[in-house]
Amino acid sequence: MAYEINEQKKVGLGLIGFGIFFSLLGVILFFDRGLLALGNIFWLTGVALLLGWGATWRLFTNPANYKGSISFLLGLFFIFVRWPIVGIIFEIYGCIVLFGGFWPSVKVFLCQIPIVGWIISYLF
């Protein structure tokens, strides 16, 4: 296996999954501020556990990623001050800018999963 998954990374993946679930549930329930905030907290903690605290700090404070970091944190601020639609737009843009370099690695990882890999190799 190309990636070693220990217990901390399993918990991180679970928290990222819960974060995505609560964020989607918050969007479905007409941008519920509490669910969106809870989803963000789970997602950020999961990313920190998955990548490691130092790597997460370097990711957000890297000068090349300032635009994405500021956009994501501004979106989080807008969610907390009750502008959830604007906040989600800023957060989505920030995630795309911050994690744009990870997409090739994610594709390699997903191609190793039996059914998902067949679909991805068929589409791309």
d(CA 75, CA 91): 5
Closest of 62, 60, 92, 58 to residue 75, by C-alpha = 92
Phi, psi of 30 (to 5 degrees): 60, 50
Predicted local distance difference test score (pLDDT) of residue 35: 94
Q: Output the CA torsion sign for 75, 13, 34, 25.
A: positive
Query: Residue 3: is its pLDDT beyond 80?
Result: no
Per-residue pLDDT tens digits for 11-33: 998 999 999 999 999 999 998 99
Per-residue pLDDT tens digits for 52-104: 999 999 989 999 999 999 999 999 999 999 899 999 999 999 999 988 888 88
Predicted local distance difference test score (pLDDT) of residue 117: 83
Predicted local distance difference test score (pLDDT) of residue 4: 76
